[in-house]
């Protein structure tokens, strides 16, 4: 490829320009695996950790809990349980990734999910509305909450920490008013309940997994081919293939494990992927596309990296800020619906307690920076799994509530310290 | 160096006044910038260089005076207006997003899309073409993040971004202020190449060596007035320093 670049380029301005081999040599050098791996290692050492902490955390926790509870933790039933346990926190974290990318915080996302779930439950139970009307209403309420929140942050310019803390208190009051002191609203709608309690037919699960794996492979390979044929910067094909292979193996292995019969009695069958999992997959694909492939997403990263530069480049910073809070609260609403499905009810404390901290922890453990400008939608999935495993494992160990709080707090602090250390490292090695 | 006196100037400022409240920052300032030439804008701290540059770039308006671009009277009201005319200002702080890569920064706010999705291929190709056209050898991969680049490389990216948009006039505010010797040299060479490609370049600088190394003309500001507009070849180092510090030297400069 190196020689191809020393040909004459069409003159952009003035006379024909020669692009010497050395100009973008680095782009073509990286088509060799060793250099690519070397570059990656250099990035990691300079503080760009990506998904490494989350993957190490996942592996460590799985080994730990398997050692402590060998017969229950890795049982088929518990694996399915784990996947539904991770759903609400993952969806909430995915919304928070948008807010964190700007270096802002939304402490009210958890209780917003509670309010939206309460609205949904009341519409179904008291007004007899069909599930889709109730869910759309919940999402609409989420968007309204996010708009007000974002407006107060972006236009009135109150720090998001304070605004969302006020919302954290205020929204709990609204949930309480909707549901009544100490009460719960049961949710019996078939579709809502199915999200976390019913499974996809086996054939559909397998089809979806294969389609996702094939789709991922196709987009990756097509991109690689286009970059290659136009002489653009491209990863070595071996790395592209390895990425595709890892994703395919994870998808198919997960499908296999969830397709095993996990019914405690041999008389019935209980198998398949819970319906909430494809929901998260769809959200993940949409958010990844928006953040990575649209100019809106690009502008979110720009505002998070250098708001002044973004403003001077003509980006409407206020609009971006309001938009991320709207997205965060809308996803919080969906998370609230899934949580309601899991518990078959909405209670006054839905979305309260440690819900929000779990979600922030998930995003940060997954690799999203609290300082803005760094993060991806998949961080929420990786971090959500880590958080779910901690929650699930501690449950199996039967630790006391006080210990749960302590351990979760320590995990969140640990993730934040990794983030802060990595950031220091980045700024000190930035040549 | 080209002899462009016959060519119509890209930028002509005449009788420019600008006050901030009671403080008169610019008074009867004149400046012309010709295509294919580097015009150095020099002056002591507080002489009004930055105010003049901001006015040219549309950050704020001028109170009075004539602002002609390509012979037409214009009045850019925002950096976007100025960019639409073909005026790009590279500010001292560069305004790059460190978490984005070179291509992403060059197209920031003006991304090319293919329907909903960004057209990364077109953007990367255009970015490479621009960098190659400037004979830039220092960036390495155009997919490197700006946080991984050195000060000189960042300056290069900021300048390349300014010329990506078919601009006619590029204003560089102290591009070499924070750079080492070798990097300064690279940036100055780049500045020279911009002019050689036919752009009008205004270079704000404190450093006489840099000014004499690359400029064709020098405009000296003294306390908000234009002390002199001269060809670099016609003056000495010492004369320019005198213009900066006292507003005149010999028969050049403001009347005593």
**B11-97+151-253 to CATH, choices 3.40.50.300, 3.30.9.10, 3.40.50.920, 3.30.1330.40:** 3.40.50.300
Q: How far is B88 from chain A (nearest CA, A)?
A: 11
Residue range A378-405: average pLDDT? 90
Residues of chain B contacting residue A23, judged by C-beta atoms under 8 Å apart = 131-132, 135-137
ipTM for the assembly: 0.85
Could you give the CA distance from residue A215 to residue A235 in angstroms, rounded to a whole number?
A: 19
Give me the percent of chain A exceeding a pLDDT of 70: 92
- Per-residue pLDDT band for A238 (boundaries 50, 70, 90) equals confident
Region of A7 on the Ramachandran plot (φ > 0 left; ψ -120 to 50 alpha; else beta) = beta
Structure token pair of residue A269: 């069958």
Inter-chain residue contact A313 with B150, CB threshold 8 Å: no
Report which of residues A262 and A46 the model is more confident about.
Answer: A262
Residues of chain B contacting residue A24, judged by C-beta atoms under 8 Å apart = 128, 131-132, 139-142
Pick the range with the lowest mean pLDDT from A6-15, A49-58, A182-191, B191-200: A6-15
Inter-chain residue contact A373 with B197, CB threshold 8 Å: no
B-interface mutation test, from A39, A228, A229, A233, most B Cβ less than 10 A away: A233
Q: For chain B, what is the mean pLDDT?
A: 88
Does B184 have pLDDT greater than 90?
Answer: no
| B 186-215: CB under 8 A from A | 196-198
| B 105-124: CB under 8 A from A | 108-111, 113, 116-118, 121, 124
Structure token pair of residue B136: 């830039």
pLDDT at B247: 86
Does A39 have pLDDT greater than 80?
Answer: no
Contacts of B56 (CB under 8 A, 6+ apart): B11, B13, B67, B82, B87, B89, B169, B171, B202
Residue range A235-243: average pLDDT? 88
Helix axes A109-125, A160-179, angle to 10 degrees: 20
B-interface mutation test, from A302, A419, A425, A427, most B Cβ less than 10 A away: A302
Which residue in chain B is spatially nearest to A234 when comparing CA positions? B143
Of A19, A25, A373, the CB nearest to B99: A373
Size of interface A-B (CB pairs under 8 A): 128
Contact status, residue B17 vs residue B27, Cβ threshold 8 Å: yes
Of B80, B139, B147, the CB nearest to A430: B147
Radius of gyration of chain B (CA): 18
Report which of residues A21 and A205 the model is more confident about.
Answer: A205
pLDDT at A200: 93
Inter-chain residue contact B98 with A13, CB threshold 8 Å: no
pLDDT at A53: 85
Q: What is the biggest distance separating any 2 CA atoms in chain B, rounded to whole angstroms?
A: 64
Could you give the CA distance from residue A306 to residue A292 in angstroms, rounded to a whole number?
A: 18
Report which of residues B193 and A33 the model is more confident about.
Answer: B193
pLDDT at A31: 59
Residue range B197-218: average pLDDT? 92
pLDDT at A7: 36
- Per-residue pLDDT band for B6 (boundaries 50, 70, 90) equals low
Could you give the CA distance from residue A48 to residue B36 in angstroms, rounded to a whole number?
A: 43
Which residue in chain A is spatially nearest to B143 when comparing CA positions? A233
Output b/e per residue, B209-230; b: 16+ Cβ within 10 A: ebbbbbbbbbbbbbbbbbbbeb
Digit-coded pLDDT (tens) for B111-124: 999 888 999 999 99
Residues of chain A contacting residue B119, judged by C-beta atoms under 8 Å apart = none
Of B96, B109, B131, the CB nearest to A314: B109
Inter-chain residue contact A310 with B117, CB threshold 8 Å: no
Inter-chain residue contact A26 with B141, CB threshold 8 Å: yes
pLDDT at A229: 86
Residues of chain B contacting residue A30, judged by C-beta atoms under 8 Å apart = 141
Nearest to B144 by CA among B98, B199, B208: B98
Digit-coded pLDDT (tens) for A153-174: 999 999 999 999 999 999 999 9
- Per-residue pLDDT band for B256 (boundaries 50, 70, 90) equals low
Domain ranges (residues) in chain B: 11-97+151-253
Of A306, A309, A431, the CB nearest to B148: A431
Residue range B225-247: average pLDDT? 91
Of A14, A24, A430, the CB nearest to B142: A24
Does B31 have pLDDT greater than 80?
Answer: yes
Residue range A303-319: average pLDDT? 92
Structure token pair of residue A250: 């994870």
Residue range A38-42: average pLDDT? 79
Pick the range with the lowest mean pLDDT from A2-16, B94-108, B131-145: A2-16
- Per-residue pLDDT band for A429 (boundaries 50, 70, 90) equals low
Sheet of B23-33, strands arranged across: B23-33, B11-20, B64-69, B72-73
Does A221 have pLDDT greater than 90?
Answer: yes
Inter-chain residue contact B129 with A10, CB threshold 8 Å: yes
Nearest to A393 by CA among A90, A85, A88: A85
Q: For chain A, what is the mean pLDDT?
A: 87
Task: Name the E strands within A215-314.
Answer: none
Of A23, A26, A312, the CB nearest to B95: A312
Inter-chain residue contact B109 with A10, CB threshold 8 Å: no
Contact status, residue A280 vs residue B78, Cβ threshold 8 Å: no
Neighbours of A4 (CB within 10 A): 9
Report which of residues A140 and B138 the model is more confident about.
Answer: A140
Spacing of C-alpha A32 from chain mean position: 31
pLDDT at A300: 97
Could you give the CA distance from residue B70 to residue B140 in angstroms, rounded to a whole number?
A: 36
Region of B127 on the Ramachandran plot (φ > 0 left; ψ -120 to 50 alpha; else beta) = alpha
Contact status, residue B140 vs residue B156, Cβ threshold 8 Å: no
Does B157 have pLDDT greater than 70?
Answer: yes
Quick check: A24 contacting B, CB < 8 Å?
yes
Quick check: A374 contacting B, CB < 8 Å?
yes
Residue range A406-420: average pLDDT? 88
- Per-residue pLDDT band for A180 (boundaries 50, 70, 90) equals confident
Does B214 have pLDDT greater than 70?
Answer: yes
Inter-chain residue contact B97 with A310, CB threshold 8 Å: yes
Could you give the CA distance from residue A376 to residue A149 in angstroms, rounded to a whole number?
A: 23
Quick check: A296 contacting B, CB < 8 Å?
no
Which residue in chain A is spatially nearest to B81 when comparing CA positions? A314
pLDDT at B104: 95
Helix axes A76-101, A295-305, angle to 10 degrees: 70
Q: How far is A259 from chain B (nearest CA, A)?
A: 35
């Amino acid at each position: 490829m190196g020689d191809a670049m020393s040909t004459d380029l069409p003159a952009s301005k003035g006379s024909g320009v020669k692009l010497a081999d050395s100009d973008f040599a680095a782009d073509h050098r990286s088509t060799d695996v060793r250099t690519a791996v070397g570059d990656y290692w250099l990035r990691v050492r300079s503080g760009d950790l990506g998904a490494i902490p989350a993957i190490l955390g996942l592996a460590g926790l799985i080994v730990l809990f398997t050692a402590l509870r060998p017969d229950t933790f890795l049982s088929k039933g518990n694996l399915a349980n784990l996947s539904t346990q991770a759903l609400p926190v993952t969806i909430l974290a995915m919304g928070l990734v948008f807010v964190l990318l700007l270096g802002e915080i939304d402490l009210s996302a958890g209780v917003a999910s509670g309010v939206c779930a309460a609205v949904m439950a009341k519409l179904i139970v008291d007004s007899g509305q069909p599930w889709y009307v109730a869910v759309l209403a919940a999402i609409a309420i989420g968007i309204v909450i996010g708009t007000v929140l974002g407006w107060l942050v972006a236009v009135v310019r109150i720090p998001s920490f304070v605004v969302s803390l006020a919302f954290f208190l205020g929204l709990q009051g609204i949930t309480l008013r909707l549901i009544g002191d100490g009460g719960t609203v049961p949710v019996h709608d078939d579709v809502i309940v199915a999200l976390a309690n019913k499974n996809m037919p086996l054939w559909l699960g397998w089809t979806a997994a294969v389609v996702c794996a094939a789709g991922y492979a196709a987009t990756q390979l097509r991109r690689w081919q286009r970059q290659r044929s136009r002489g653009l910067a491209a990863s070595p094909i071996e790395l592209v293939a390895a990425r595709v292979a890892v994703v395919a193996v994870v998808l198919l292995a997960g499908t296999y494990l969830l397709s095993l019969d996990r019914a405690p009695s041999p008389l019935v069958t209980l198998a398949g992927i819970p319906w909430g999992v494809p929901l998260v997959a769809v959200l993940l694909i949409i958010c990844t596309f928006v953040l990575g492939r649209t100019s809106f997403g690009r502008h979110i990263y720009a505002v998070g990296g250098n708001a002044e530069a973004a403003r001077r480049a003509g980006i409407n910073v206020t609009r971006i800020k309001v938009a991320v809070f709207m997205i965060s609260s809308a996803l919080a609403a969906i998370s609230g619906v899934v949580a309601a499905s899991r518990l078959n009810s909405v209670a006054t404390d839905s979305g309260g307690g440690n819900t929000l901290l779990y979600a922030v922890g998930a995003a940060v453990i997954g690799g999203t920076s609290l300082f803005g400008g760094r993060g991806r939608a998949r961080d929420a999935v990786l971090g959500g799994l880590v958080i779910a495993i901690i929650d699930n494992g501690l449950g199996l160990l039967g630790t006391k509530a006080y210990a749960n709080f302590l351990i979760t707090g320590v995990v969140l602090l640990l993730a934040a310290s990794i983030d802060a250390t990595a950031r220091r490292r980045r700024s000190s090695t930035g040549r | 160096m080209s002899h462009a006196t016959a060519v119509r100037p890209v930028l002509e400022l005449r009788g420019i006044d600008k006050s901030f409240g009671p403080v008169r920052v610019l008074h009867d300032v004149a400046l012309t910038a010709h295509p294919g030439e580097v015009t150095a804008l020099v002056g002591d701290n507080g002489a009004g260089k930055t105010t003049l540059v901001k006015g040219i770039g549309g950050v704020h308006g001028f109170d009075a005076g004539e602002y002609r671009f390509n012979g037409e009277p214009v009045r850019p009201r925002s950096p976007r207006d100025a960019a639409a005319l073909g005026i790009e200002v590279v500010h001292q702080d560069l305004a790059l997003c460190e978490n984005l890569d070179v291509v992403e920064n060059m197209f920031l706010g003006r991304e090319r899309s293919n329907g909903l999705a960004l057209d990364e291929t077109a953007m990367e190709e255009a970015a490479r073409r621009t960098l190659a056209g400037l004979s830039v050898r220092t960036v390495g991969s155009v997919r490197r993040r700006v946080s991984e680049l050195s000060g000189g490389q960042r300056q290069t990216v900021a300048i390349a971004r300014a010329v990506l948009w078919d601009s006619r006039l590029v204003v560089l505010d102290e591009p070499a202020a924070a750079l080492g010797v070798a990097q300064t040299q690279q940036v100055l060479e780049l500045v020279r190449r911009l002019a050689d490609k036919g752009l009008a370049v205004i270079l704000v600088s404190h450093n006489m060596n840099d000014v004499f190394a690359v400029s064709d003309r020098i405009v000296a500001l003294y306390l908000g007035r234009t002390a002199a507009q001269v060809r670099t070849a016609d003056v000495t180092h010492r004369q320019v320093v005198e213009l900066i510090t006292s507003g005149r030297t010999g028969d050049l400069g403001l009347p005593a």
